Chains A and B, each alone.
Chain A
């Protein structure tokens, strides 16, 4: 009976239509991805090579740093969890700004598909693919390098608000790009360039030179990585990380409002100026 009710809900037009559109986007982008046959094979190979090299690298390198404060018992765990988190939190990068500044957006906008659904739809395949690759990365890291991986509610909450923060920053970047008609995206550019260096993806930020350390303090990925390592590597629960998590939640929510406002403003300005798709 409950299955029948669920099926009835899914098949109502208001729900089934967006799902159908999402499925259409997923199929289109999957077919497009595999149209580069050699490249798709190379990408799979690249994941395997990456995880092997990173694992070997992390075993060889030792750092004179207080790794335990991050909840991870070894530098290997610290390093591999950093990679996993890096893949997850960079998922939203360009998810809105890239589409809005692309030449295919006006063609999609004139369809009855709502703008939010266009952004979701276009990203469906790439998110699915990157989640699959991350899953493969985690599996190899667990089975071959003994990476500690706790999966609890705290991990999910950390990931949810981390991704929300990154979406908010990308919305802000989208508004900026579409308003200035700039081909450069300084927000995503700063986040990408600086993340690997200052946020603690590969080594603790405390090991940075003193003049660089303050940048790690303002980089959102520094806090995301710390929380993720505490939950994934240290197995800390939601209540244990809550004091540190509150600031991430508040920042994410505030930034989401700010980012969305900037996006709406930039989008409206582009329609007033008639420059949608003019990048």
Chain B
């Protein structure tokens, strides 16, 4: 069952105003919106119920705009975004009752929580806005505080918390409300490694497994997307480049393997001989205290023995390292639109 569906979704923003008041621009806007800055372009996307879906892209790719359209904070230029079959702009209140969005990247810009109130009172207030019944509210706050490891911060004013703890409180909102859809925009952006692990566990164990939520994770952290997501969409310059499981995406894109060899006693014809091997796309010799040969190639299984044999015959190997492409390599390769072919 499709929970979130984007149909030909595009968003162009207005250019920033120039001048002190920008009166000339205001006059132009009155005549008609000036929308020129691309944020999303013809995005078609389906997210199935109960899936943890990653929206992966660099800064400015359009991830936050997508999340804001889900919350009716931004109106799209073209197309529609449906949540449980309802248009996200027209049925905002109905959708909001089933969805919690954590704009963690904007935590310092938007005062979601009241600074001079305790963590407990803040969570209780937000729970009431989401219509959590009174008989369940205190129980859920206890559960959230324990799960988020905030026991000793329960009665502390929100403003006294560190950035990481504030983010935990913000994420705790999803546990208090227990909605069917959770949107996480850069949920671990301000966190250290142990806190990130806590959040990853909570996303996987609590939100996905226990509560059965559909989770949209917008992030630029490839490791996070690869580790957590059932499915990932790579978004670049407002366009979806690929949607699949992280493992499939690795296979999808022919990202080259790298072989790095420390050599001595090199035969001058080594590079010519390596050129004859069809899988080698690029060969580099880096000269320094030790000579390093770096080869970029594909079809590893078929040609690796031939490559090593060629090197052994034409030089003396001191050290050898084979680097397999990571999800990060795939991601960067997609972003750069480099010379790697698509299957």
Contact = CB atoms under 8 A, between A and B. Distances in A.
Given A17-B131, A35-B117, A111-B96, A271 B75 contact: yes
B139 to A, nearest CB: 18
6 contacts: A28-B121, A35-B157, A110-B71, A112-B97, A272-B75, A274-B73
A32 B113 CA distance: 12
Contacts of B14: 272-273
A114 B93 contact: yes
Contact of A274 (B68, B96, B110, B117): B68
Contacts of B157: 35
A103 B109 CA distance: 7
A112 B117 contact: no
B189 interface: no
A28 B13 contact: no
B71 A24 contact: no
Given A111-B96, A271-B74, A273-B13, A21 B129 contact: yes
B129 A108 contact: yes
A274 B29 CA distance: 14
Nearest to B33: A272
Interface residues of B, number: 40
Contacts of A109: 71-73
B322 interface: no
B130 interface: yes
Contacts of B130: 111-112
Interface of A: 17, 20-21, 24, 27-28, 31-32, 35-36, 102-104, 106-114, 179-181, 268-269, 271-274, 276-277
Interface of B: 11, 13-14, 17, 26, 29, 33, 35, 39, 65, 68, 71-75, 93-94, 96-97, 101, 103, 106, 109-114, 116-117, 121, 124-126, 128-131, 157
Most buried by B among A36, A104, A268: A104
A104 B111 CA distance: 5
A112 B29 contact: no
B73 A28 contact: no
A277 B113 CA distance: 14
B96 to A, nearest CB: 4
Contact of B110 (A27, A104, A180): A104
B79 to A, nearest CB: 14
A20 B72 contact: no
Contacts of A35: 116-117, 157
Contacts of B114: 28, 32
Contacts of A21: 128-129
Contacts of A108: 129
Given A112-B93, A272-B33, A106 B131 contact: no
B88 to A, nearest CB: 11
A21 B94 CA distance: 16
Contacts of A104: 110-112
A31 B33 CA distance: 43
A17 B134 CA distance: 11
B129 A113 contact: yes
A274 B109 CA distance: 14
